[in-house]
Amino acid sequence: MNQSILPEGKFDEEKSVLGKVDAIFFESPETFYKVIQIKITKNNFDWQEETIVATGSFADITEGVEYLFVGSLVLHPKYGKQFQVFNYQTELPSSKNGLIAYLASDSFVGIGQKTATKIVEGLGVDAIAKILADESVLNKISLSNKQKESLIDNLKANNGTQQIVIELNSFGFGSQMASAIYNKYREKTLDVLHEDPYRLAREIAGIGFKRADQIAEKVGLAADAPQRIKAGLLQGIYDICQEKGDTYTDAKQLLDQTMILLSSSRKVELLPDLLANQLLELANEGIIVAEKKRIYLRKYYESEWRIAEKIKTIKEKKLFLGNNFESNFTSLLEKVESQLGINYGKDQVKAIKDALQSKIFLLTGGPGTGKTTIINGIVAIYAALKDISLDINEYKNKQFPIILAAPTGRAAKRMNETTGLPASTIHRLLGLNSGDEVEIDEHNQLEGSLLIIDEMSMVDTALLDILMDAIPNNMQLIFVGDKDQLPSVGPGQIFADLLVCSEIPKIELKAIYRQENESSIITLAHAIKEGNLPTDFKFPRSDRSFIECHPYQIEGVVRQVVQKAVIKGFKVRDIQVLAPMYKGPAGIDRLNQMLQEILNPYLSGKKQVEFNKQYFRIGDKILHLVNSPENNVFNGDIGEIVGIITSKESKDHQESLIIDFDGNEVEFKRKDWIKIRLAYCMSIHKAQGSEFKMVILPMVQQYTRMLNRNLLYTAITRAKNFLILLGETSAYSNSVQQVAVNRKTTLVERLKNIFSQEKQNSGVEESVFEDQLEYNNHEKKYILTTALINDGKIDPMIGMKQIKP
């Protein structure tokens, strides 16, 4: 039955089905994924039924319309054999009567049998192709404007979206990625795919340069096409900045990296001069900026200037604290000390006083130096001076004037717990969504009089740029952090650079006040910060210990330590294993598998789902990897799986996880599971901004390329009560000796230029945001080669900013 073979060569050696869509069982509201039933007309494989269930990415597919589907037979564990569609196309009627019936169908409102006959007789059996190519061909057919509009709109809609999905399928994109691409570019999707596929790498998360280059090759873009070279150069700058945390690079590094990228993507030899010439073109077009042999993506160049200018503007605004500030401050400080039951040290009193008297102020210090206590004092005295009530209930219909924020959800939660006041992530404060690339004007404007940001070392250049743009000039700013912790994941070293600027008031706290039962963890952290590994660091203390072991022993030792901690009454949420790398026997991935086995083992009959080589079970500790303000969940937040909904239990036949983030339950469909991972063991970067009752820290030479003082210091300062150090002594000593390489940024230089403008009339140009790159084609032409650049015989930025050979 229904076993005739389709025309040879139509889809080379692939299984195919020709048939009408009989029913649509399921369609995802968020992607192009659908489950349909096909009534088979023809097929080229063994199938004994009249119908077959098919799954795949489809546009607005119509029941009763005939399509040609290409794919493969798959065995679903629950639903049996199905046809997994790779691609499809509408089988438009090729006969006169078939085309008349198609145009007279319900798909074309207002076009009945009579009108459809008139169209086909007037334009022929290729009427649809003629109409799509030139709408004016309908002018010779006697149709009303409404009929013309219905015909053209429906043909375009059916053909447009369908052709987009078909083409996305042909490039191998799944339903989720195809939907992301279509939602970004809509009706211009095909134009992007054919004219500039490299935009996908720059603008769609999850698509890299090589994937975009594969598409470019398919659509006929040559390996030496200027478009490809420019895309490679832009990808090169982006990759260098993301990998190293720099905000700029230089010509040699960029040209070398781009040549490797282009050559590895397509095995075609390219001349170095070709890259150098296109680099000049990018500068001439204003897409990159060149200055003093530094090469920037324009966004980072402009961000540093904007940050510097906004800081100067805010700093120079007058601040009024009342006529009797000195006497009021002393009495208010005494009142705060009495309420908190503490006595501030001299440096802490100075920090509070200086912060209150400054439009912008920086506060840095290590663990135990009292940063949190100082924030409490600043808030209390500021509120008293400004006659502000700290009772949140009084602000139901208006903005609370004191804003507290931090880069991560857990850091914001800690601010809330220690101050008793509302605190949020910076992303939520600004109304930014899901960590997407954000333009400078796409955010909330802040309202209030005082803004305090904690964990400033985690803030990168792009985020501070947006934050500063959102801050009104009359707002008072206090940035708090620990300058010795790891810098931001994104480009820049904002807090460190701001601390270098002599024009910004600041204080570094050095005296240790929080010595809970003489905490040896705090003492160890400060010794490491100063570059010393204490001789007694291996000796056991009441709050920390050291266990010597090799990489392949780490898993077994961690297992024993965790098991004993559980026996002693520690909860899963109290214990956190931290590691620098994901791979290897002592890596995060392997340790997570082992820890899940002992802390939340699989039991017969217990629900579990698999994703990306991980199993998720009810009770699992989960780490959220991105910012999702729409769900009030942020990068670094830790939750627990409290529910698993199987596809059989779900109305839309999609699996989902219910995860509880400190009382906030969020449902994650399978497509969103890429945003989460097991959190029994996590990276030190992801743990930044958090504290845990017990930290277990393995360090081995296997991690060598990651080891440095900032990393070790950050890891140790995550431990609140207990610290278990494991691994090789040499790994710890090497970490202490290895000072992290300073990132290449120019924010310090921008701040110096901005603040010195009044002292010297020279400095930066009148506007730093105009294109500063000029290329005079009438002057003598010079050939720029990589060899000349490398030999230092020519400035690679000739033609820009009036630079001549």
Q: What is the separation of C-alpha 572 from the centre of its chain, rounded to a whole number of angstroms? A: 28
Annotated ligand binding at 372? The verdict is yes
714 in a known ligand binding site: no
Q: Which of 786, 805, 780 is nearest to 278 (CA)?
A: 786
Contact partners, residue 331, CB within 8 Å, separation at least 6: none
The CA–CA distances, whole Å, from 472 to 244, 444, 501 equal: 32, 11, 22
CA distance linking residue 673 with residue 495, whole number of Å? 33
> H helices of 614-695, where?
684-687
Q: Does the annotation place 115 within a ligand binding site?
A: no
> Which pairing describes strands 15-27 and 33-43: parallel, antiparallel, or unpaired?
antiparallel
| 370 labelled binding-site residue | yes
Report the distance separating Cα 747 and Cα 305, nearest Å.
Answer: 7
Q: Please report where in the chains the tokens 């930044």 appear, as a residue.
A: 688
Between the two ends of the chain, the Cα-to-Cα distance in Å is 78
Please indicate if the annotation marks 396 as binding a ligand.
Answer: no
Please list, residue by residue across 630-657, b when 16 or more beta carbons sit within 10 angstroms of its beta carbon and e when fewer do.
ebebbbbbbbbbeebbeeeeeeeebbbb
Residue 240 CB neighbours (<10 A): 22
Integer Cα distance of 87 and 90 in angstroms: 11
Could you tell me where the DSSP H helices lie in 666-777? 684-687, 709-716, 729-737, 747-756
CA 627, CA 240: separation in Å to the nearest integer?
Answer: 23
73 strand-pairing partners: 83
Residues 6+ apart with CB under 8 A from 727: 548, 549, 551, 554, 586, 698, 699, 700
Cα torsion 11, 17, 18, 24: sign = negative
Number of neighbours of residue 774 by Cβ within 10 angstroms: 12
**DSSP structural state of residue 628:** B
CA–CA separation, 467 and 459 (whole Å): 10
Q: Determine contact, residues 102/85, Cβ cutoff 8 Å.
A: no
Burial label, 556 (beta-carbon count in 10 A; 0-12, 13-18, 19+): exposed
Q: How many CB atoms lie within 10 A of CB 348?
A: 24
- Residue ranges for the known binding site are 368-372
- Residue ranges for the known binding site for ATP are 368-372
